[in-house]
Every structure is written in structure tokens, then in C-alpha cells.
A and B are shown apart, each in its own frame.
Chain A
Amino acid sequence: MAMFLIRRIGHGILVLWLISVAVFALFFVAPSNVAQTLAGRQGTPETIALIKHRLGLDLPVWQQYLHFLGNAVKGNLGYDYYHQVPVTHIIGQALPITVSLALGAAVLWLALGVFNGVISATHPRSLADRGLTLFALFFYSFPSFLLGLLLLYFLYFRLTLSGFGWFPAGGYAPLTGGIGPWFQHLLLPWVALALLLAATYTRLTRGSMLDVLGEDYIRTARSKGIRESRVVVVHGLRSALTPVVTQFGIDLGQLIGGVVVIETVFSLPGLGQTAVVAINQQDLPVIIGIVLFASAAVVVSNILVDIGYAVLDPRVRLH
């Protein structure tokens, strides 16, 4: 087990390092006119050179990279070009928003997906099964921006017009300002995200539940006269949930850098939106910092999922 862990973590670090090289190369090789922008329209060549020097942009790319890597290992991801704020600080501010969004949505999509999946699996090929599958696929097919805009249109715009101003147009209210506003601001994004992702979980739950319900020990439980609902929930669901939990771990990791559109549509200044702003301003340290941080989230969640698997099933460790 220790060997497995070490190897797995080693792979993770290798992958992150490769990503850092790739991202650095890509963005630093591309022509940048940040110095020009910072110097303003009237910037003389001297000021531009000075700015370049201050930002370290006059060094060869590989030196910049080594400098970056050396700092990154110490937990310093650099400073943004415009206000010299540490990138870690920027991430620290945006992260709680993205995490609130992801976790809240997760509660909803898990509940929705697992519930629908169980109903589908216990009534296979029924009208309910088909209906729920269609429902899940319908929202799965939605481009996230379209779903976001629709929710805003109906639940913010139309409702507010009708005098029910329950939902804000977007933006974020930190938890420190009370749980009410926080909840209010996040509800629509949660619903949007949950509807988009529920389909995967419906399908997963349905599939593994059907498998499990066909197994011998479930038949035995049934033949013993245990109530059907108990069979399904206590005996079936527990073992059927393994793939769901796996998928959940993977999805959570990906969401850290993957809720760009929902954050943009609902004006939530999470990691995704912060990155998009940074991209528009060519604020390379911020872009790289967020990309790396998001990749690390994926790598870590995958390792956790693998460890969970290895604990449950020792055969995995061999490979």
C-alpha cells in the first residue's frame, strides 16, 4: 500500500510538473504586449523596457521558468502584473466562491441523480424510467450558458417583473455577510450546475443498481421476505454507489477549474471568472497560477479516488 501511494503521488507530481512546463511554454512563447499595455499609450520604449525588466520579462524563457518553479515549490505562484498582488492571494479569494458553488450544486445533483437513478432501476423500461432518462438527457444537452441565461430570464427577470424579487441578477454574497444572502445568490447557479450534471449520475446509478439488483445476495434478501424498499436502499444502494462516489470525486476535482461559464453568466468572481478576466488582460502569472491550481485539484482528487479504490479492492494496487 505504501508503495502504491508513493508511486501514485509520484505520478501526480510528474503530471503537474509537465503541465507547468507546457503552460509556461505556451503562454510565454506567444507574443505578449503586457508591458505595452501597462506603459499606456504614451509609453516610451524606455518605460516599456523598464516594465519588462521589473516583471522579469526580459529574461530568457527558461530562466523565467526556473525562477517560477523555484518560487512555486515554496508555495509562491508569483504576483499579478497589474497590482502586484500575490497570485496565491487571488486564488485564495476566488476559491471559496467556486467551492461554495461546486459543493452546493453537488448536494443537489447527487440527490437528483441518485434518486432518479434508483427509480429508473427499480422500474426498468417503465414510463417513469424513460421519462427520467429523457429529463436527465434534456438538461445534459443544454449548453451551460443557455441554461444559465434561461434561469436568469425566467426566475430573475420575469419573477422580478411580476413583483417577486426572490433572486438576484447575479453576483456573490460572502458567507460572512450572513447565510441568507449567500444562499440567495447561489441558488440559481446551483440549480443550473446540478441540472447539467445530474444526467451522468442518473445513468451511473441506474446502471450499477440494475447490476446489483440482479446479484444473488439481493435475491436471497428478497426471498427472505425483507421489504422491497429495504432491499433496494439498504442492500442494493450501498454497493451500487461505488461508481457514483468515484465519479463524484473526479467531477469535484474538475469543477474547480471547470465552472467558467456558470460563473461568468451569474457574475460570480470564482476561479473560472478570475481566470477569464486574467486572460483578457494577459495577466500571465494569474492564468498560470489558476491553471496549475485547477490541474492540481484534478490530480489530487484522482489520487484520492484511487486510494479509495485500493482500500476497497486490493487487486488494484498491483497495477
Chain B
Amino acid sequence: MTAAIEMVDVLDEPKAIEGRRPFSLAVRRLRKDKVAMVSLVVIVLIVLMAVLAPVFAAVTGHPPNEQYRDIGLTPDGLPRGPNGTFWLGTDDLGRDILVRIAYGARISLLVGVLATAITVVIGVVLGLAAGFLGGITDTVLARLIDVVLSVPFLLVAIALVSVTGPSLTVTVLVIGCFSWASVARIVRGQVLSLREREFVEAARSLGAGDRRIMFVDVLPNVIAPVIVYTTLLIPVVIVTQATLSFLGLGLPPPTPDWGGMISESQNYYTTAWWFILFPGLALLVTTLAFNLFGDGVRDAFDPRADRT
């Protein structure tokens, strides 16, 4: 180089700029969202209830599947309402509804988390591949996404479960294998624009291969929409699981789960309101908490609708 410009080499070094870290603004916004924070507390309580389900059984002295046909049922064989022994009443077989709700939380949350995890992993990987690799991969995956999104999910899920017989694994797999397509579509759309960004080319100029670019460079940039979608997907999955149970395709009895309990209560709702009320409330509070929290997460990441 000839004649370099004379200039003092000053290290211009501003302080780290607040809120410039990925997500820090979003997290700050979320913290300030009271509704979302209350929902988060509720979610934590439900998780605690699921984890501590055996404690419920120990304190009341009622195992979840124990049928108290003597003290748990009226002389006519009907469920007993809430009382000192059975705090939330009993079901048609004289089982303790409170304890069963606590154990049922395990199923709902387990399915919710597992199926969502499968959904997100498949969706992200296929969406990344379709968007980034393009060409024939994209064509095939795009059609596959169309197929999955066009199939009447619940009908096929019911049909599948009725063929294979109900179990936790089947429920999780069926939900996971049918829900990934929306995630894949979102991710694909993002990746299509991300792959044109200069930092992808920079990675290529360093010698990075497709796989590394996809997972190291592109993936971190699709995390925000995936987080938003995931929080909103969990309640949908929980409802789907409960719906399958309600239709008699949940877990084989006597495993307690909320959808199944509500289904069993149908014939008693004229005589035993607590039988449907408490499991229904548990389910509703759970999905509502997740939805409100998810809504807060969405607003925190995309505050567009909150300007003015």
C-alpha cells in the first residue's frame, strides 16, 4: 500500500448498547407484561402439581386408581360430592378426583411437551432443508407440507389411533407427525430470505459446508418465530390429546387423564357437577395460561400491533 492516510488510530469503543443483544428487548417486554407473568406463575403451579402428584396421593391417602366403592360412592352407587375425605369429590368408580387431576396433569404436560418437541424438531429441520437447499429437496418437501396441511388431521388421527390402539407413544407420534408442517412452512419462509443474506456468503467464503451453514448460521436466526410458535402450539397439543381421550382414544384406563375424566363424566353431569367441573377447569386453566403466555411472547417478539 502506498501513502496510507495519516490518522490517529482511535479505538472508538462505545459501551455495549442496551437491548442490542438478541432477545433482550423481547425478554424485557415480556417481563413487563403482567398478564403473561401471571400466566407463567399458573403454568409453574400446574407443573408443580404434576411433579408433586404422589404428594397429593400421600396427603389424601388415596392412590389415583384406588376405587372406594364403599366410602367413595353413595348407597345408590353415584359419585360423592366434595367433602372432608374427597376434597373435590369422587368419580363414577369412587376414585378421588383431586388426586386423579394431579396425575392427569402429568399426561397433559408430558404429551404437550413431547409432541411439541417432535413437531418443532421435524418442522425446523425440514423447513431449514427445504428453504436452504432449494431445488428438488424444496419441491418435494413443499408438496409434503401441502399434503400434511390438507389432510383432515383429527379424522386421520382418530383413524390411526383406532387402528394401532391407544397409547402414550401413539398419541405423541400422531400429533407430532401431523403438526410439523406449519412449523416447517414458517421456517422455510424465513430461511428463503435468510439464505440471501451476506453472512451466509461470508460463511461460504470461509469454506463452511451446507450443513454447517444451515445449523450454525441460519438456525439461530429462525429461533424467534419458532419460540413464538412453540409456546402457542403447546396448548393446542394439550387440547388435541384431551380431545382424543374424550373420544375414547386416549390412554387405556385406568390411567387418569383430563380428557378421559371429562368423557366419563358425561353420563353424570345431571347428578354430579363436580365430576365434569374440576377436570374441565384444570384443562381450561392450563390451556388458557399457555395461550395467554404465548400471546405475551408473541407481542414481546413482534410488538408491531402495540405501537401508536
A–B contact via C-beta, under 8 angstroms? yes
- Give the B-binding residues of A (Cβ under 8 A): 11, 14-16, 18-19, 22-23, 26-27, 30, 124-125, 133-134, 137-138, 140-146, 149-150, 153, 157, 206-207, 210-211, 214, 254, 256-258, 260-261, 264, 272, 275-276, 279-280, 287, 290-291, 294-295, 298-299, 302
Tell me how far the C-beta of B148 lies from the nearest C-beta in chain A, rounded to whole angstroms: 9
Bound Cα distance from A131 to B304, whole angstroms: 20
B150, A143: Cβ atoms closer than 8 Å:
no
Known: A141-B284, A146-B262, A279-B158. A157 touches B147 (CB 8 A): no
- Give the A-binding residues of B (Cβ under 8 A): 35, 143, 146-147, 149-156, 158-160, 162-164, 235, 239, 242-243, 246-247, 259, 262, 266, 269-270, 276, 280, 283-284, 287-288, 290-292, 295, 304-308
Known A-B contacts: A30-B164, A125-B308, A291-B151. Give 17 more (CB < 8 A): A15-B146, A19-B151, A26-B160, A133-B295, A134-B35, A140-B291, A149-B269, A150-B280, A211-B304, A258-B153, A264-B247, A276-B158, A280-B162, A291-B152, A295-B150, A295-B151, A298-B151
Q: For A295, what are the chain B residues with a Cβ–Cβ distance below 8 Å?
A: 150-152
Bound Cα distance from A307 to B290, whole angstroms: 36
A261, B154: Cβ atoms closer than 8 Å:
yes
B147, A207: Cβ atoms closer than 8 Å:
no
Of B143, B162, B270, B291, which one neighbours A279 at CB under 8 angstroms? B162
Bound Cα distance from A153 to B265, whole angstroms: 12
Tell me how far the C-beta of A252 lies from the nearest C-beta in chain B, rounded to whole angstroms: 13
B243, A254: Cβ atoms closer than 8 Å:
no
Q: List 26 A-B contacts (CB under 8 A).
A: A15-B146, A15-B147, A18-B147, A19-B147, A23-B156, A27-B163, A125-B308, A141-B235, A143-B287, A145-B242, A211-B304, A214-B307, A214-B308, A254-B152, A258-B152, A260-B155, A276-B247, A279-B158, A279-B162, A287-B155, A290-B152, A291-B152, A295-B152, A298-B151, A298-B152, A299-B150
Q: What's the dominant secondary structure at chain B's contact region?
A: helix
B246, A298: Cβ atoms closer than 8 Å:
no
Q: What's the dominant secondary structure at chain A's contact region?
A: helix
Closest to B246 in A: A145
Q: For A299, what are the chain B residues with a Cβ–Cβ distance below 8 Å?
A: 146, 150
Q: For A291, what are the chain B residues with a Cβ–Cβ distance below 8 Å?
A: 151-152, 155-156, 159
Q: For B154, what are the chain A residues with a Cβ–Cβ distance below 8 Å?
A: 257-258, 260-261, 272
Of A16, A26, A142, A149, which one neighbours B276 at CB under 8 angstroms? A149
Closest 9 CB pairs of A and B: A257-B152, A294-B152, A141-B288, A141-B287, A30-B163, A298-B150, A143-B239, A295-B150, A141-B291
Bound Cα distance from A297 to B121, whole angstroms: 29
A272, B155: Cβ atoms closer than 8 Å:
yes
Q: For A206, what are the chain B residues with a Cβ–Cβ distance below 8 Å?
A: 305
Closest to B273 in A: A153
Q: For B243, what are the chain A residues with a Cβ–Cβ distance below 8 Å?
A: 143-145, 261
Of A124, A134, A144, A275, which one neighbours B308 at CB under 8 angstroms? A124
A143, B283: Cβ atoms closer than 8 Å:
yes
A146, B284: Cβ atoms closer than 8 Å:
yes
A146, B280: Cβ atoms closer than 8 Å:
yes
Bound Cα distance from A140 to B288, whole angstroms: 8
B143, A146: Cβ atoms closer than 8 Å:
no
Q: For B276, what are the chain A residues with a Cβ–Cβ distance below 8 Å?
A: 149, 153
Bound Cα distance from A65 to B262, whole angstroms: 40
Q: For A19, what are the chain B residues with a Cβ–Cβ distance below 8 Å?
A: 147, 150-151
Bound Cα distance from A250 to B86, whole angstroms: 47
